[in-house]
Amino acid sequence: MSVTVDDELWSAVGDPTRRRMLDLMLADGFGTATSLSDRLPVTRQAVAKHLGVLHRVGLVHATPSGRERRYEVDEEQLARAVAQLASVGASWDARLHRIKRIAEAIQRDREN
- The answer to whether residue 39 forms part of the interface with DNA (CB under 7 A) is no
39/69 with CB nearer DNA: 69
* Among 22-30, 36-44, 74-82, 95-103, the segment contacting DNA (CB under 7 A): 36-44
Q: Do residues 59 and 66 touch, judged by C-beta distance below 8 A? A: no
8/93 with CB nearer DNA: 8
Give Cα separations from 40 to 18, 19, 34, 37, 61 (angstroms).
10, 11, 10, 5, 20
The C-alpha angle 72, 88, 76, rounded to 5 degrees, equals: 25
Q: How far is the CB of 86 from DNA (least distance, A)?
A: 22
Residues of this chain that bind DNA (CB under 7 A): 11, 15-17, 32-35, 41-46, 48-50, 53, 66-69
